[in-house]
Amino acid sequence: MRARSVAPLPTGVGATDRAPRSVARDRPESGNWNAPSAGIPSPAPMTDLAHPDRLQKIAALRAQGLDPYPARGVVATPIPVLLAGAGTPEAPGPLAGTRVTVAGRIELLRDFGKLVFAPLLGQGGRIQAGLERDRLGEWWPSRKLLDGGDQVGVTGVLGHTKKGEPTVWAESVTLLAKAVAPPPEKWHGLVDKELRYRRRYVDLWASEGVAQVFVKRSQALSTIRRYLEGEGYLEVETPTLHPIAGGAAARPFITHHNALDCDFYLRIAPELYLKRLVVGGLERVFEVSRNFRNEGLSQRHNPEFTMLELYEAQADYRRMLEIAEQIVERCALAVNGTTKVTFRGAEYDLGAPFPRVGYTELFRERNGFEFDDLARVRRRAQELELHLVDDPWKLMNDVFEATCEDGLAGPVFVVDYPIGISPLAKQKPGDPRLAERFELYVAGMELGNAFSELNDPAEQERRFVEQVASKDPEAPGEVDWDYVQALEYGMPPAGGLGIGVDRLVMVLTGQDSIRDVLLFPAMKPEPRAVRAAPKGTEPSGKAGPERP
């Protein structure tokens, strides 16, 4: 909530005869609770989590004419500012001894009878409030209505305890929102992974370091945007609903538009739209897009994931190498202050430049023959007990991934991919077997993919037709003729790059699983939705929740 003053409520407009107290949030009176709001009762809490004792406290508050969910917050000083301003007992800071207001969630209550310590959690930190009987006067008995998890505002003098901990010695306490669900166990916090993901709103404050991961994620995205804008790029937004699932080989989600009475595919890649924009004269574009693939889940795969894609006219994949390096290095520095990261037990240096290794050379080194020796590829695939897919080029790449990918600790660029697995990339001059394409690997994980974009419409049409004709269930179902037509209008030579933002954030923050860098990873719906009616009110026991 933004800090601002609120004009007193005019008498008779939603105000009561206690209105002068109700608007006192900027000048809290000692011992003041919140004045009542319009007297609208809240509906009964809906889930099993609501604790009866806490519901009774709400009833007690309302009985006193007090609002457990007041309309206004308090004007508070951010906790990091308070901590810095408090200094130490030996060297008090500029705020020590002054009256301050802090807002936050009561982490827990340590009750000593006539003194209660209450660590308050807010964004950016934790500071302790000290509630003393002798300072709080007539409010003091009301402390019994507070619980761990409640949102409160505390005004008092900033000081220290005997042990030197910064403490706001409360002169008034304002309940800002009553928590009816109890917080997790204070020492272990939330450890059940399912609960952590389902109740991220608890995990974010109850589990150490979780919020920081998402702060870093935001910083990384912000860094990417700043860098690309500095390079003259324009951020754009292209459709999520696609008539043809193109730009990647993946199984799409299908949805239906009622008014148009047609099916759409959820975006599997923004690529073809972004290149249309390059045709349209937007010479440097990028998009941070959510993509959806109807495939398996794993530590590296979520059904929806975030991809950065960018395209630059007059550039080729060599320029994309540089941009990829810059993005990774700048993000590391912005997020961690160093290019060194620890991921899955190993240390990596994300400082540019990254080494390059040729796909051809790597394949030959690990397998002892050329990647386009398809007969030997097939034998090798049998040795490796790989699933023998029909598409020889796909099989070749399966062999590559099985034999080469694990060794790519990285960061490293694998450059010059076989053209057979690069349907949207331009052929490498002087070697018709290869495309001007690279992938970026870190910790054996593909982080990025880039190429010199194919802009020959006839060649693109030929490859599309070939794809559609293939037996690959993940190939597009039909040729994107509109895209071919776009190329017919002429697309300048261009380089394009895609970076898996979730995976990049995994590496930057040292998280093993993609789920730990997604605020709300995909989960099956929780069967429990609503709670039974309050005890004793079920008509016959049949009206309870459906709990299959």
Q: What residues from 364 to 393 belong to the interface with RNA (CB under 7 A)?
A: 386-387
108 binds RNA, rule: CB under 7 A: yes
Of the candidate spans 19-27, 31-39, 328-336, 520-528, the one that interacts with RNA by CB under 7 A turns out to be 520-528
Near RNA in 254-313, by CB under 7 A: 269, 293, 295-301
Find the farthest-apart pair of alpha carbons in the chain and give their distance in angstroms, rounded. 90
Residue from the set 78, 111, 225, 409 that interacts with RNA by CB under 7 A: 111
CA 35: distance to chain centroid?
38
Q: Is 61 helix (H, G, I), strand (E, B) or coil?
A: helix
51 binds RNA, rule: CB under 7 A: yes
H/E run at residue 331: helix 317-336
State the helix-helix crossing angle for 501-509 and 317-336, rounded to 10 degrees. Answer: 40
Structure-block tokens of residue 420: 């057979």
Rounded least distance, CB 225 to RNA, Å: 24
State the number of binding residues for RNA (CB under 7 A). 73
Sign of CA dihedral 93, 96, 99, 101: positive
Residue from the set 11, 47, 161, 338 that interacts with RNA by CB under 7 A: 161
Residue from the set 176, 335, 399, 421 that interacts with RNA by CB under 7 A: 421
Structure-block tokens of residue 191: 């450890």
Q: Which of 398, 501, 497, 503 is nearest to 445 (CA)?
A: 503
539 binds RNA, rule: CB under 7 A: no
Structure-block tokens of residue 457: 């419409």
353: cis peptide before it, omega within 30°?
Answer: yes
Length of the chain: 548
Rounded least distance, CB 65 to RNA, Å: 20
163 binds RNA, rule: CB under 7 A: yes
Say which amino acid occupies 438: F
* Residue (75 or 517) nearer to RNA, CB: 517
H/E run at residue 218: helix 210-230
* Residue (192 or 237) nearer to RNA, CB: 192
- Per-residue contact flags (x/-) with RNA for residues 462 to 491, judged by CB under 7 A: ------------x-----------------
* Residue (219 or 470) nearer to RNA, CB: 470
**φ, ψ of residue 245 in degrees (nearest 5):** -85, 95
* Residue (22 or 151) nearer to RNA, CB: 151
**Dihedral angle of Cα 237, 241, 243, 249, to the nearest 10 degrees:** 80
* Residue (35 or 129) nearer to RNA, CB: 129
77 binds RNA, rule: CB under 7 A: no
Which residue do the tokens 């599997």 mark? 268
Number of C-beta neighbours around residue 144 at 10 A: 11
Of the candidate spans 85-93, 110-118, 234-242, 310-318, the one that interacts with RNA by CB under 7 A turns out to be 110-118
* Residue (72 or 126) nearer to RNA, CB: 126
CA–CA distance, 338 with 326 (Å, rounded to integer): 14
* Residue (23 or 157) nearer to RNA, CB: 157
Rounded least distance, CB 480 to RNA, Å: 12
CA–CA distance, 4 with 109 (Å, rounded to integer): 30
CA–CA distance, 317 with 288 (Å, rounded to integer): 20
Near RNA in 165-224, by CB under 7 A: 165, 167, 182-195, 197
Rounded least distance, CB 22 to RNA, Å: 26
Q: Alpha carbon of 234 to those of 281, 282, 310, 378, 420: distances in Å?
A: 12, 8, 9, 45, 32
548 binds RNA, rule: CB under 7 A: yes
Near RNA in 123-142, by CB under 7 A: 128, 130, 132-134
Rounded least distance, CB 226 to RNA, Å: 28
Rounded least distance, CB 297 to RNA, Å: 7
524 binds RNA, rule: CB under 7 A: yes
